[in-house]
Amino acid sequence: MTAYWLAQGVGVIAFLIGITTFINRDERRFRLQLAVYSAIIGVHFS
């Protein structure tokens, strides 16, 4: 697997987490999922 496909895979995972973040009604779970999303985006762009 090349670095390009690895980065694309991480980006897709971050995208899916980002979409599902706003479905949550529980504020605690929302904050946790938003933190995970931010961490994955950070890894994606580093």
Q: What is the CA radius of gyration of the chain?
A: 12
The pTM score is: 0.68
Please tell me the predicted confidence (pLDDT) of residue 39: 92
Delimit the domains of the chain by residue range: 3-45
Q: In whole angstroms, what is the distance from residue 23 CA to residue 42 CA?
A: 22
- Residues 6 or more apart from 27 whose CB is under 8 A from it? none
Other beta carbons within 10 Å of 36: 15
Q: What is the pLDDT along the chain (46 residues), one digit of tens a residue?
A: 688 898 888 889 888 888 888 887 888 988 998 899 899 888 888 7
Instruction: Give which of 5, 13, 8, 9 is closest to 39, Cα–Cα.
Output: 13
